[in-house]
Amino acid sequence: MSFDKKITRRAFIRAAAGGALASGLAVGAVSCGPKNSQEAADGTKAAADVKKIATQCQGCGANRCGIYVYVKNGLVWKVEGNPRTYNNAGTVCPRGHAYIKELYNPDRIKQPLKRTADGKYEPISWEQAFEEISTKLNLIIMDNGPQSVFWAQYPMANMPLAFRFMHALGSPNTITHGATCFTARNAAFNATCGALPDNDLKNSRYIILVGRNPAAGVKLQQIKDIADAKRHGARLVVLDPRHSETAVIADDWLAVKPATDLAFLLAMLNVIIEEGLYDHRFVEERTVGFDNLRDAIVTYPPEWAEKVCDIPKETIYRVAREFASYKPRALIHRGYHGGYGASYFNSFQTARTVAILNAIIGNYEAVGGLFMPLKPTLGELEKGGHPAPHIPEIEKADGAGVPGRYPAASYSDGIVQAIPELAISGKLKAGFVNHMNPIRTNPNPERVIAGYKKLELLVTIDCFMSETAAASHYVLPESFFLERDDHVDTVHSGPVGQLTVVAQVVKPMYDTKPLLDIITGLSKGLGIGKYFNFTMDELNALRLQPFGVSLEELKREGVVDVGPRWVEGFKPCKTPSGKIEFYSSQLASWGLDPMPGWQEPLVSPNPSDKNSFRLIHGKQAIHTHSMTANVPYLMQLSDRYDMIRLWINRQRAEAIGLKDGDTVVVESDIGKGYVKVRLTGGLHPSAVWMPSGYGIFSKYLKTAYGKGINYNDFLNTYFDPAVGHVMSNEIIVRVSKA
Ligand code: SF4
Torsion angle, alpha carbons of 179, 185, 189, 195, to 10: -50
The number of the ligand 1 atom at minimal distance from the alpha carbon of 99 is 3
The residue-averaged pLDDT of 243-262 equals 97
* Selection from 336, 373, 319 nearest residue 188 by Cα: 336
Q: Which of these three, 371, 392, 413, is where a domain ends?
A: 371
CATH number at residue 234: 3.40.228.10
What pLDDT sits at residue 14?
42
pLDDT at position 441, please?
96
Residues 174 and 292 grouped into a single domain: no
As a whole number of angstroms, the distance between CA 560 and CA 514 comes to 24
Span 303-307, average pLDDT: 98
Is 93 near ligand 1, meaning CB less than 6 Å away? yes
Separation between Cα atoms, residue 414 and residue 429, nearest integer Å: 17
Taking Cα atoms as reference points, which of 5, 96, 4 lies closest to residue 58? 96
Q: Residue 155: its pLDDT value, please?
A: 83
Lowest mean pLDDT among 61-70, 300-309, 470-479: 61-70
654 versus 49: which is more confidently predicted? 654
Residue 23 lies in a domain: yes
Confidence check: pLDDT of 672 > 90: yes
Q: Please tell me whether residue 167 adopts helix, strand or coil conformation.
A: helix
Taking the C-alpha atoms of residue 39 and residue 26, their distance in angstroms, rounded to an integer, is 21
Asked if residue 549 is part of any domain, the answer here is yes
pLDDT at 62 over 80: no
Give the per-residue pLDDT at 48.
55
Choice between 372 and 27, residue whose per-residue pLDDT is larger: 372
210 Cβ contact partners less than 8 Å away, ≥ 6 residues apart: 239, 240, 261, 265, 332, 333, 335, 339, 340, 350, 354
Is-contact 612 685, C-beta < 8 A? no
How far apart, in whole angstroms, are the C-alpha atoms of residue 456 and residue 229?
54
Q: Which atom of ligand 1 is nearest to the CA of 220?
A: 1
Q: How far is the CA of 219 from the centre of ligand 1 (A)?
A: 8
Which residues, listed in sequence order, are joined to residue 464 by a DSSP beta bridge? 108
Tell me if 112 sits within 8 A of 477, measured CB to CB: yes
C-alpha separations of 545 from 9, 73, 379, 411 in Å? 43, 36, 6, 28
Whether residue 227 is found in the same domain as residue 357: yes
Cβ atoms of 20 and 621 within 8 Å: the answer is yes
* 519 residue type, one letter: I
Domain containing residue 15 = 5-104
Distance from the alpha carbon of residue 218 to the mean position of ligand 1, in angstroms: 7
d(CA 511, CA 534): 22
Q: E strands, 358-478, where? A: 370-371, 430-434, 457-462, 474-477
Query: Which residues lie closer than 8 Å to 661 by C-beta, 6 or more apart?
Result: 676, 677, 678
> CB count, 10 Å around CB of 350?
30
In this structure, the number of other CB atoms found within 10 A of the CB of residue 501 comes to 25
How far is the C-alpha of 365 from the C-alpha of 598, rounded, in Å?
A: 28
Alpha-carbon span 637 to 629, nearest angstrom: 11
In a shared domain, residues 134 and 166: yes
- Average pLDDT estimate for 54-68: 92
Question: pLDDT tens for residues 275-297?
Answer: 999 999 999 999 999 999 999 99
- Asked whether residue 597 is domain-assigned, the answer is no
**What is d(CA 343, CA 725) in angstroms, rounded to the nearest whole number?**
8
Our count of domains for the chain comes to: 4
d(CA 393, ligand 1 centre) in Å: 37
Which of 104, 135, 162 is the last residue in one of the domains?
104
- pLDDT at 46 (0 to 100): 47
Cα three-residue angle 23-96-49, rounded to 5 degrees: 125
Q: What is the pLDDT of residues 537-578, one digit of tens each?
A: 999 999 999 999 999 999 999 999 999 999 999 999 999 999
Query: Do the strands 474-477 and 113-115 form a parallel or antiparallel pair, or are they unpaired?
Result: antiparallel
Contact of 7 with 42, CB cutoff 8 Å? yes
What pLDDT score was predicted for residue 6?
38
Question: Do 65 and 123 fall into the same domain?
Answer: no
The rounded Å distance from CA 617 to ligand 1 centre is 20
Assess whether 394 and 524 both reside in one domain: yes
Burial class from Cβ neighbours inside 10 Å (0-12, 13-18, 19+) for residue 111 reads: middle
pLDDT tens track for 94-150: 999 999 999 999 999 999 999 999 999 999 999 999 999 999 999 999 999 999 999
* Residue nearest ligand 1's atom 6 by CA: 65
Strand ranges, E, within 578-611: 580-581
Residues 16, 8: contact at Cβ < 8 Å?
no
Q: What percent of the chain has pLDDT over 90?
A: 90
Tell me if 189 is assigned to some domain. no
Provide the b/e sequence for 592-607 (b: ≥16 CB within 10 Å): bbbbbebbebbbebee
Dump pLDDT digits (tens) for 144-190. Answer: 999 999 999 998 889 999 999 999 999 999 999 999 999 999 999 99
Chain centroid to CA 197: how far?
16
Alpha-carbon span 135 to 138, nearest angstrom: 5
Measure 402 CA to ligand 1 centroid, in angstroms: 35
For the chain, helix (H) and strand (E) counts, in that order, are 24, 27
Q: Would you say residue 476 lies in a domain?
A: yes
Mean pLDDT of the chain: 93
- State yes or no: pLDDT of 29 exceeds 50: no
333 Cβ below 6 A of ligand 1: no
| Residue 12 pLDDT class (50, 70, 90 cuts) | very low
In angstroms, the Cα distances linking 517 to 55, 350, 480, 527, 686 are 20, 43, 14, 16, 51
Nearest ligand 1 atom to alpha carbon 64: 5
* Cis, peptide link before residue 214, omega less than 30° from 0: no
Whether residue 601 lies inside any domain: the answer is no
Is ligand 1 within 6 A of the CB of residue 56?
A: no
Ligand 1 pocket: which of 56, 60, 67 to mutate (most atoms <8 Å of CB)? Answer: 60
Please give the full DSSP string across 222-252, using - where no structure is assigned: HHHHHHHHHHTT-EEEEE-SB--TTGGG-SE
Domain presence at residue 605 = no
Decide: residue 34, CB within 10 A, 0-12 exposed, 13-18 middle, 19+ buried: exposed
Q: Give yes or no for residue 247 having a pLDDT over 70.
A: yes
The helix (H) or strand (E) run that includes residue 554 is helix 551-557
Give the CATH number, domain containing residue 632: 2.40.40.20
pLDDT at res. 163:
96
The pLDDT of residue 338 is above 90? no
Q: Are residues 148 and 99 in the same domain?
A: no
Q: Which of 344, 371, 398 is the last residue of a domain?
A: 371
CATH number at residue 407: 3.40.50.740
**Is the CB of 63 inside a 6 Å radius of any atom of ligand 1?**
yes
Residues 42, 130 within the same domain: no
| 222-231: pLDDT as tens digits | 999 999 999 9
Measured from the CA of 67, which atom of ligand 1 is nearest? 7
* Residue 110 domain flag: no
User: Which CATH number does the domain housing residue 67 bear?
Assistant: 2.20.25.90
* Closest to 330 (Cα-Cα) out of 500, 431, 208, 221: 208
647 C-alpha to ligand 1 centroid (Å): 26
End-to-end CA distance of the chain: 41
φ and ψ at residue 663, rounded to 5 degrees? -90, 135
393 band by pLDDT with thresholds 50, 70 and 90: very high
Residues 634 and 673 placed together within one structural domain of the fold: yes
pTM of the model: 0.93
State the Cα–Cα distance between residues 46 and 33, nearest whole angstrom: 14
How many angstroms separate the alpha carbon of residue 483 from the centre of ligand 1?
A: 18
pLDDT at position 625, please?
85
Q: Looking at the structure, tell me whether residues 636 and 708 fall in a common domain.
A: yes
**Chain segment 396-426, per-residue pLDDT in tens:** 999 999 999 999 999 999 999 999 999 999 9
Same domain assignment for residues 358 and 425: no
Sign for the CA dihedral angle at 321, 231, 257, 263 comes to: positive
Same structural domain, 337 and 393 = no
* Ligand 1 centroid to residue 63 C-alpha, Å: 6
Ligand 1 atom closest to the Cα of residue 97 is: 7
Q: Whose CA is nearest to atom 8 of ligand 1?
A: 96
Report the DSSP beta bridge partners of residue 733: 613
Q: How far is CA 367 from CA 202, 326, 327, 683, 686, in A?
A: 9, 12, 10, 34, 38
Containing 207, the helix (H) or strand (E) segment is strand 206-210
Would you state the pLDDT for residue 349? 97
pLDDT at 421: 97
Q: CA angle, corner 728, sides to 448 and 732, nearest 5?
A: 100
Cα 514 off chain centre by: 23
- Please tell me whether residues 695 and 732 are part of one structural domain: yes
Examine the pLDDT at 18 and tell me if it is beyond 70. no
Side-chain-side CA neighbours of residue 616 (13 Å): 31
